[in-house]
Structure 1
Amino acid sequence: MSHTALIPSHRKPRQSASKTALRAGVAGGVLSTIAVAGAAGPAQAEPVTQTIEMPTITAGLSTTVAASAEATQQVALDLETQANQDAAAATAAKAAKKAKAEAVRKAEAKKKAEAAAKAEAKAKAEAAERASRVSRSTERTTLSAPSGSSSSSGSSVSTASAPASSSASGSAASVVSFVQMQVGDAYVSGGTGPNSWDCSGLVQAAFRTVGVDLPRVSQSQSTAGTQVGLGNLQPGDILYWGGAGSAYHVGVYVGGGQFVGAQNSSTGVVQKSLDYDPPSGAVRVL
């Protein structure tokens, strides 16, 4: 065996006869065509004109664009309308709030005016009532004392011996005027004014107007001055019911056989004749 028998050959592999013939035929055909064209010489190529219709797509596109534009415009109009409505609602709410505040202010002003008018009317009525009381009391003190006598708790009071009219002056006149101005006020146990009293509270307040500070209770007031007989009374004397030092009720003699006292819760402060409730005794402080 040759020493090169197992070494692969470096030559190109041989092509099959069929592939070689095919390639030869193709090459021959191409060369033949070129030869024929060369033999024919240059020839004028006839221009070819052909119109190709392309599909129309702009019609649908324009419709879509138009619809989109219309939709955009509608959205803009809707937004503008909503904005206008919101602005109108805000303006209306602000106006309503302002109107409500104004109505509340006017209502409060009216309420205050009505309260002030009522207070003024009440004050005028009270002033007129007090003036009327003073007038009535003045007229009463000029009347003659009723005749006759009556007794209570073993004490005898002769109203015939009482002064026929009030001749109070100075401090006594001030005390009489004060108690007469309270006629018609309510009786309240422990009351010290200005519109409700008990018996000793009224007497104490009356004498305080002239600078005399009396004890607070009836028992002490019944011994606060000089004891005087019921037949020798003067306007401004303190009347008491019960014993001296143990009195249960007091009042002020106003002249003309009459007294003023805070009697009870049914009558309130009254001006009455001594015969209405004859006292037990009297003291003179002024």
Structure 2
Amino acid sequence: MKRKLLPYSLAILTTAGCSMAPYQHSPDDAADASHSPATGRPQPAQPPTPEPAPSPAELLKASLYQQHQARKGIPYRLGGMSRRGIDCSALVYLIYRDHMGIQLPRTTQYQAVAGEAIEQGELRPGDLVFFRTGRRGRHVGIYIEEGKFLHASVSKGVTISQLTDYYWKSRYWRARRLDLESSNQS
């Protein structure tokens, strides 16, 4: 009797041992995943996960970089508002009017009091940054990100500069924020 049970005992132990071993994934598993485990029939493909919509700040930054590319190198010309020449406040005026739907004053003097005052550490894309460039001279640009701002430079024309550049850092004056959200809703 003991001899008859021995083969059955070995079979039970061998089977139990196999079922307790951790499952090892094989390359064929990926192909099998497209089939239903219950029916073996193909399952419909899962639609790709949609990319999250860009934030308003990301859209604004992209728009400012596009404006830079479209106007890059246009020379500085005091009082200018065209591709032949443009000054800093005209650049800001045109970008805000044509791409943000906000009517700003035309001159730096009046742009410097538009919106609300903010600290330099609070800058967000689209904020105006102002500089004192001489005894009575003022300059304006539009903040983009990471210390970069778009402006019409006397020496380089329409360009992007860094607030940390020696020239701009020593002349930084103030920043203003306009209500971009309410203007985009109207």
* Shorter-chain TM-score tier: 0.5 to 0.7
TM-score, length-scaled by structure 1 = 0.38
Matched, 1:200 2:93: no
Matched, 1:253 2:146: no
The answer on whether the counterparts of 1:176 and 1:236 sit within 8 Å (CA) in structure 2 is: no
Query: Whose radius of gyration is greater, 1 or 2?
Result: 1
Matched, 1:221 2:111: yes
SS of residue matched to 2:80:
coil
Alpha-carbon RMSD: 2.5
Identical residues among aligned pairs (%)? 36
Q: Which shifted more, 227-236 or 270-279?
A: 270-279
Query: Counterparts of 2:85 and 2:77 in 1: how far apart (Å)?
Result: 6
Query: Counterparts of 1:215 and 1:172 in 2: how far apart (Å)?
Result: 22
Matched residue, 1:268: 157
Matched residue, 1:76: none
The answer on whether the counterparts of 2:68 and 2:160 sit within 8 Å (CA) in structure 1 is: no
List alignment gaps of at least 5 residues for structure 2.
1-54, 181-186
Query: Counterparts of 2:111 and 2:146 in 1: how far apart (Å)?
Result: 23
Taking a change above 3 Å as real, the CA distance of residues 194 and 269 of structure 1, as seen in their structure-2 partners, is same
- Higher strand proportion, which one? 2
Query: Counterparts of 1:186 and 1:257 in 2: how far apart (Å)?
Result: 23
User: What amino acid is the match of 1:205?
Assistant: L
Shift of the alpha carbon at 1:168?
2.3
Taking a change above 3 Å as real, the CA distance of residues 238 and 176 of structure 1, as seen in their structure-2 partners, is farther
Name segments (4+ residues, structure 1) moved above 3 Å.
Answer: 169-177
User: What amino acid is the match of 2:176?
Assistant: V
Query: Counterparts of 2:61 and 2:102 in 1: how far apart (Å)?
Result: 11
Q: Which of 146, 158, 174 is the matching residue for 2:63?
A: 174
Taking a change above 3 Å as real, the CA distance of residues 236 and 217 of structure 1, as seen in their structure-2 partners, is same
- Higher helix proportion, which one? 1
Give CA deviations for 1:132-186 in whole Å, capped at 9, x if unaligned. Answer: xxxxxxxxxxxxxxxxxxxxxxxxxxxxxxxxxx982455653453245322111
Matched, 1:282 2:171: no
Query: Counterparts of 2:71 and 2:57 in 1: how far apart (Å)?
Result: 18
The answer on whether the counterparts of 2:64 and 2:150 sit within 8 Å (CA) in structure 1 is: no
Query: Counterparts of 1:176 and 1:207 in 2: how far apart (Å)?
Result: 14
Higher RCO (CA 8 Å, separation ≥ 6 residues): 2
TM-score, length-scaled by structure 2 = 0.56
Taking a change above 3 Å as real, the CA distance of residues 168 and 247 of structure 1, as seen in their structure-2 partners, is farther
Matched residue, 2:51: none
Query: What pairs up with 1:87-236 in 2 under 5 angstroms?
Result: 168-170=57-59, 173-175=62-64, 177-209=66-98, 210-236=100-126
Alignment length (residue pairs): 118
